[in-house]
Structures are given as C-alpha cells and as structure tokens.
Amino acid sequence: MKTKTIQISDTTARQLYNGNPSALKSALEETFGKEFFQKPVEERINSFEDVLSETGRPSVPDFSCVPEDLRDFFKATYKCVVIAEAFNEGERIDIYNSDKYRHYPYFLNNGSASAFGLCHSAYVCTYSGAGSGSRLSLLKSENAKIVGEKFKNEFRDMLSL
C-alpha cells in the first residue's frame, strides 16, 4: 500500500485540535493534491496494483493451504473479489435488500481462451446464482462493464481455471 506523510503547520495543528474540519481537508489536499480526491474510481484504477492500493489489501496469498490444482483458481478469485471491493469503494452489498441491484460482468467464451470477452453486464435483485456471492457483484452497472473490460484476464482465469 502506498503511504504519504502529511506535514502540518502549528496553526493547522491547532485548528485540527479545535475540530475545524476544513483544516484537515486543506492539509490533505496540500499533500495529495486536489485531483487525487476528485478522480472517480474508474479513472484511478487501471491495474491490479491500483486495486491493492485502493483497498489496502495485501497482495494475493499463495493459497498453499489448498490442493495444488486449485491454487491458481483461488488466486484468481481473490483478485476478482478485491477488484469488486475497490470498484464498490468499500461499500459491502446487502444481498437481502431487493431494492438494490447487484451487477455482474457477463462473458462469452467464444470457443477459445483468446476470444473470451465481455458480452454485457447483467443485474440481479432478489435472486443469486450459486457461487456468485455479494463479494463479486458491483453496485453500478457501468462499473461492471469497466471491470469486465479492464480486468478481463483476471475474470477469465477465475471462470476457467
């Protein structure tokens, strides 16, 4: 996870101590830059390293606990779970709330690994397919499409390994 050190003046420290929220905002903007806070998630995440940085999750475990033939599958699933977590910006989906749609990228196999690609995104509300899990669903339809395109290889591995 990337980290930065915030340096604050004596005046800002006193303002923060006295509970002035705008002082904290200014201090954060000075260190990270305004753009850092304005960039939407779909622009700031372009790689799995960005996903780890966004979520603060450790890198993919080696899954040496599971039998060898399942390790790559679990590694790919971990990646997809963390990718969904990053794009949902930490919000955990309540699967019992039928008013809240859960979106998934949908892929067409096209008969070969090289032709595997995003077909469309689909949503569910009251129903859930076995194994789909709240941890793999996206809150926004557009993010389901973006995830399916940007992280096609990770999803292909999870679905095929």
Partner 1 sequence: MEKQDKLKKKRPETTEEAFQLAGRPVVDFSNVPEDLRTHFENYYKGIVITEALNEKKKPDWDNWKEKKWRAWFRMSASAFGLPFTHYDDAYSIAGSGSRLVNFDEETAEYSATQFKDVWKEIQIG
Residue 21's H or E segment, with its range, is helix 21-32
Residue 114 makes contact with partner 1 by CB under 8 A: no
**Among the listed residues 13, 25, 34, 58, the single contact to partner 1 using CB under 8 A:** 58
DSSP symbol at 136: G
**Among the listed residues 33, 61, 89, 142, the single contact to partner 1 using CB under 8 A:** 61
DSSP symbol at 138: B
Q: Calculate helix-pair angle for 141-150, 68-87, nearest 10 degrees.
A: 140
Residue 139 makes contact with partner 1 by CB under 8 A: no
Rounded to whole angstroms, how far apart are CA atoms 64 and 70?
Answer: 9
**Among the listed residues 15, 77, 88, 143, the single contact to partner 1 using CB under 8 A:** 77
Number of residues that bind partner 1 (CB under 8 A): 50
Rounded to whole angstroms, how far apart are CA atoms 60 and 57?
Answer: 9
Tokens linked to 104: 């998934």
Residue 65 makes contact with partner 1 by CB under 8 A: yes
Residue 112 makes contact with partner 1 by CB under 8 A: yes
Q: Which parts of this chain interact with partner 1 (CB under 8 A)?
A: 57-58, 61-67, 70, 73-74, 77-78, 80-81, 95-96, 98, 104-112, 119, 122, 126-137, 144, 147-148, 155, 158-161
